[in-house]
Structure 1
Amino acid sequence: MTDAKTQRKGFLQAISVLQWILTFLFLGVTCIVLMVGLMFTSLWLLPTLCFIWLVIDWQTPERGGRRKPFVMRWKVWQHFRDYFPIKLVKTAELSPNKNYILGCHPHGIMSIGAFGCFAAECCGFPEAFPGMRASLAILAGLFRIPLFREYLMGGGLVPVSKPSLVHLLSKSGTGNAVVIVIGGAAESLASHPGEHTVLLGQRKGFVRVALEFGADLVPVYSFGETELFQQIVFTEGTLGRRLQDLFKKIAGFAPCLFVGERWVVLPYRTPITTVVGSPISVPQRITPTDEEVDHYHQLYMDALSKLFHEHKVSCGLSESHKLCFI
């Protein structure tokens, strides 16, 4: 009986992760194909109404969206969490009287740790940080896709655009933790098991936004994120790499080719430990200078490096592992 329960639990966990992977990869495209296809059928009124609603509701994603707590607390996310498992580690308090920008690293292939800890409420963020509300910011273009945008907003996701950040950091009161995966699409191409590379050296826009609104910066590192898939690597100059770079310029994200542990796309059962560091106090500067941006950017890089080295051993790495900035 125990073996049957264990097998059933493992199956539910695998199916929960599989549905998320398929959603990540295909749901947006499916919604586009469905809307366009229905336009040429007797059901043309349905996509027409969807497109009209899209125009009317165009700015909602950048005004905080429409999060649905019941979506963020679906039972499926608990199975999703337990598959790896994903764990959230708190190292310092975050005051609900302030706003924060949490920089999450590394991107990995799909930012599974960031989603599990800051979008799906299955890892205890509200309990660990009472009074705080996390908003995971993702590609703004995804919120232009009919139907798909409703699902994203329901899950508490927001666009990583300037109007969206301005709204959350200046028009939604305090207690907002805006989570940005700083490395973005480009960093996904540097995701390889055993390596810890973050694209941060020239990524300073988030620091400028933090200064403009006096939002404290918080480094976050997800140990295990780069161990989930084996990526098929195309070296610089090859046709495959050129196609990846071209696609990233057009679509905003890189089409990584990868394989997982089972069913090709199912990731390895590797623990993910997402460690939230101590906040870096940032003053408000309506028009920050380049020198101020550089100063707080360096403070952030130092804090991220310190966070990595302080927790790497407890998270399964050896002392020899290094964090590489590019």
Structure 2
Amino acid sequence: MKRILSALATAASIAGLALGAAGTANAETAPLPSPIYISEVSTADVNQQYIEIATTSAVPITLNTDVTVEATFRLDGAPVTLPLTIPANATFAPGTGYLIAFANANLPCANEVRPEILPVDKPIQVRLITGFTPFESATIPSYTNPMFAQHRTKLTPATFAPAPKSPCQFPYTPPAGTAPLPSPLYISEVSTADVNQQYIEIATTSAVPVTLNTDVTVEATFRLDGAPVTLPLTIPAGTTFAPGTGWVIAFANANLPCVSDIRPEILPVNTSIQVRLVGQAPFIFENATIQPYVNPMFAQHRTKLTPATFAPAPKSPCQFPYTPPAL
């Protein structure tokens, strides 16, 4: 299995890279390459050129819109852009990807084969675009060894390094010690201090509209009279998330017109609560401890994705579109 990701603790801008130029770090504006990202690009071997796109998603998803994959390079001094496409309804299970092969490449795993040949001695800019908005932009440096490809070594900023070619070697596994990216869903806001407006809000990091292909369990665990209690809540398969949207679970007396699910329970107001998002297997891809607080006008808001960090601030349920915090 390929080690294609490194530590995700530093967010940086990955948009707007010029050919041959590096991105500028900006933790406030860095978009997350979610739910798909450029994982490997092969150009030096004219007989096996490809662009491989992988997913950061922890649960199986279906794209609800086309994603344009733009490959831009210079040919005879003039810029050339190949507009490629990952079609709507393409599905991604965790650790899988989508492979675009070129001309002479003989790759049975290719999802699409293009007639063009990419330049072998020039950098290539690859962008992932939904609508007219790029959510991934990476400059792939030129290299000379035809046995190698450029592999993704860091998500943000988009960083690549040459290593032996390994197209379609799924599933991808992040390196040991790397915090998993909460994708495409994460815990965004939790309200407990006001017994009349308790809720758990789940938001999406996805840059494109997606549909969940499996249930996601939302576990809320706390102590009641000294004994642990776990409420198993569910975001059902078939739920669709557009960029910046979310899912709100309200409890007991809460009156929220935006609620996706209403539960009869009342959460404790004076104890910590552990909230986990659980996918298949089961696989826990979010695990956050929400600390108690006293102001009933406040909720605990997500301030950092990795590690999951919260801070009290005035309640603001369902105020979408919601922008993910920095990594």
Shorter-chain TM-score: which interval?
A: under 0.3
Larger relative helix fraction: 1
Question: TM-score, normalising length from structure 2?
Answer: 0.21
Q: Considering only CA atoms, is the larger Rg found in Structure 1 or Structure 2?
A: 2
Greater share of strand: 2
TM-score (norm 1): 0.21
Taking CA–CA contacts closer than 8 Å with sequence separation of 6 or more, which of the two structures ends up with the larger relative contact order?
1
